[in-house]
Amino acid sequence: NAGVMQNPRHLVRRRGQEARLRCSPMKGHSHVYWYRQLPEEGLKFMVYLQKENIIDESGMPKERFSAEFPKEGPSILRIQQVVRGDSAAYFCASSPRTDSSYEQYFGPGTRLTVT
């Protein structure tokens, strides 16, 4: 059973460009979470999605950031007009979200560097 897949693993963008990060959840998982980790910090929640629905985006910056989880294909986190402060590791997690399972399983992350 393959784990959570994220690509690319490393992404370099110049200021003002767009960054697109992809996440494929574990097989059988229909719930996807995105987290961001700044250097020397813990992971911070950004957004929670189910297929075709954004359930909770309370951790998402109001501008330039968007996320989707289409019916077919991976979940996408999009950052428009990137700035240096967007440089971080972005982790995706998936969960089966049954009544007995709250655990979230994380992918390897995408390390975004904005130059």
Partner 1 sequence: DQQVKQNSPSLSVQEGRISILNCDYTNSMFDYFLWYKKYPAEGPTFLISISSIKDKNEDGRFTVFLNKSAKHLSLHIVPSQPGDSAVYFCAASQKYSGAGSYQLTFGKGTKLSVIP
Q: Which is nearer to partner 1, 48 or 65 (CB)?
A: 48
Least distance CB 20 / partner 1 (angstroms): 19
Q: Which is nearer to partner 1, 71 or 102 (CB)?
A: 102
Least distance CB 27 / partner 1 (angstroms): 17
Furthest-apart CA atoms within the chain: distance in Å: 44
Least distance CB 7 / partner 1 (angstroms): 13
Name the site residues for partner 1 (rule: CB under 8 A): 4, 6, 33, 35, 40-45, 48, 55-56, 58-59, 91, 93, 95, 97, 102-109, 111
Q: Which is nearer to partner 1, 17 or 37 (CB)?
A: 37
What are φ and ψ of residue 24, in 5° steps? -110, 120
Of 8, 4, 2, residue with least CA distance to 24 = 4
* The token pair that represents 1 in the structure block: 């059973």
- Per DSSP bridges, beta strands 88-95 and 110-114 are antiparallel
H or E element, residue 85: none
Least distance CB 79 / partner 1 (angstroms): 19
What are φ and ψ of residue 84, in 5° steps? -60, -35
Q: Which is nearer to partner 1, 17 or 111 (CB)?
A: 111
